[in-house]
Amino acid sequence: EAGVAQSPRYKIIEKRQSVAFWCNPISGHATLYWYQQILGQGPKLLIQFQNNGVVDDSQLPKDRFSAERLKGVDSTLKIQPAKLEDSAVYLCASSLGGASGAGETQYFGPGTRLLVL
Amino acid sequence: GQNIDQPTEMTATEGAIVQINCTYQTSGFNGLFWYQQHAGEAPTFLSYNVLDGLEEKGRFSSFLSRSKGYSYLLLKELQMKDSASYLCAGRLDFGAGTTVTVRA
């Protein structure tokens, strides 16, 4: 079974530029998550999708971050414009389903390492 | 939310046992996860506890006390490859991780 795929693996941009990340979850997984992990910290949830609907985006900085999962499978996360403090690893994860995600094991992709200069 | 606290780092010798403690706020509790994260890699699932007690999986065991808002991960017969960060996580909240260093 293929795991969660993410691209690109690495990205270096200058502040105020835009960047987009792509995620393909495990086949059949209804729930998809985007996390931001700053060096030395645990992952912080940015947004959770159930199929193509948003379940939780309370910690997403909506003035600069956006995410979509139009067909309920792949997802993209965009930052526009980027700031220095956005330098982090962006992790995508998926789980089988369940609206709240309670008690569900999440499977993580390899992450995208973003450096904003 | 579930503010999650765990020690920053621990060091142990190969073959020894290490216990990583985790405390959390109990509001909205929906079970507790432990994940392992090697440097530069994504977290991988280790265990999930929703009821009180000990869950054993080979060299790794996880314990939960819901009334105390407390969990621990027990790593036995430590191997060098166990050097990693161990993340305690609630529903969607992660602790900062405990970096375990295994020395020969």
DSSP readout, B72-100? EEEE-S--GGG-EEEEEE-SS-B---EEE
Look at residue B1 and tell me whether its pLDDT is greater than 50: no
Distance from CA of A85 to the nearest CA of B (A): 18
Dihedral of CA atoms B41, B33, A92, A89 in degrees, nearest 10, equals -50
- Contact list in B for residue A103 (CB cut-off 8 A) is 30-31, 48, 50
Residues of A in contact with B89 (CB under 8 A): 42
- Residue B27's pLDDT band, with cuts at 50, 70 and 90, is confident
Nearest to A101 among B41, B44, B92 (CB): B92
pLDDT at A101 over 60: no
Helix (H/G/I), strand (E/B), else coil: A70: coil
Q: Write down the pLDDT at residue B99.
A: 97
In A, which residues are within 8 Å of B99 by CB distance? none
Question: What pLDDT digit, counting tens, does each position of A22-32 carry?
Answer: 999 999 999 99
Interface check A50 vs B, CB under 8 A: no
Beta-carbon separation of A103 and B87 below 8 A: no
Q: What is the pLDDT of residue A102?
A: 53
| pLDDT surpasses 60 at B69 | yes
Coil vs helix vs strand at B21: strand
What pLDDT is stored for residue A97 in this prediction? 77
How far is A112 from A89, CA to CA, in rounded Å? 5
Average pLDDT, chain A: 92
Across chain B, mean pLDDT equals 92
Q: Is A42 exposed, middle or buried (0-12, 13-18, 19+ CB in 10 A)?
A: buried
Answer yes or no: is pLDDT of B91 > 90: no
pLDDT in tens, B33-63: 999 999 989 999 999 999 999 999 899 999 9
The dihedrals phi and psi of B29, each to the nearest 5 degrees, come to: -65, 135
Contacts of B45 in chain A (CB under 8 A): 105-107
- Return the half-sphere exposure (C-beta side, CA atoms, 13 A cut-off) of residue B101: 5
Structure tokens at B67: 């009334």
Beta bridge partners of A51: none
Q: How confident is the model at residue A1 (pLDDT cuts 50, 70, 90)?
A: low
